[in-house]
Amino acid sequence: MKEVQTLRAYVYCRVSTEEQSREDHYSLHNQEVRARDYAKAKGWVIVKVKKNVGSGKNTSRPGFQDLLTAIKKREIDLVIVYRLDRLSRNVGDIYDTIELMKANDVDFASITEGFDTTTAMGRAMLGFAAVLAQLTREMIAENVKDGLLRRAESGKWNGPKWNPPYGY
């Protein structure tokens, strides 16, 4: 493992919606502050911070793509996230990203879950958390779909309020 003091850290922050990303909302800012505090306590140097707004269901986020590039170019030694589901809510994407990190000698730190990907148990626990992150995303999608169906069944409009259907 690399010397703790020399680790170059990449902080990746993500929220799902524009509302969460607004200046007055705490989530993106909180993720960054917590990551900076965590890195400082460990003696790591933050070389880059990226913030994304968008779903964790896929990897088509500019900041995430930048993260992958930094890993492949070996510009960093460590990725820090507030929580695993901030990286992704897709098991396959999480596994692929962790494998890419491993292949490029990049470690991974989740502040709230305390993963250590240098041990077999740490990798196993990461796998369990990845499954739970995807399960959460799928359950949210099911709940939204059910809610929209119930609204439609009760005769309510599911589209945007500013664009009612023709005839209203």
Percent with pLDDT over 70 in the chain: 89
Contact between 84 and 65 (Cβ < 8 Å): no
Give the contacts of 94 (CB within 8 A, at least 6 positions apart). 84, 87, 88, 126, 130, 133
Place of tokens 């909302």: 25
Beta strands in 107-152 (DSSP E): 107-110
List pLDDT tens digits, range 92-107.
888 899 889 999 999 9
If you average pLDDT over residues 60-88, what whole number do you get?
92
Domains in the chain and their CATH numbers? 4-153 (3.40.50.1390)
pTM score over 0.75: no
* Cα(17)–Cα(19) distance, integer angstroms: 5
Q: How many residues does the chain have?
A: 168
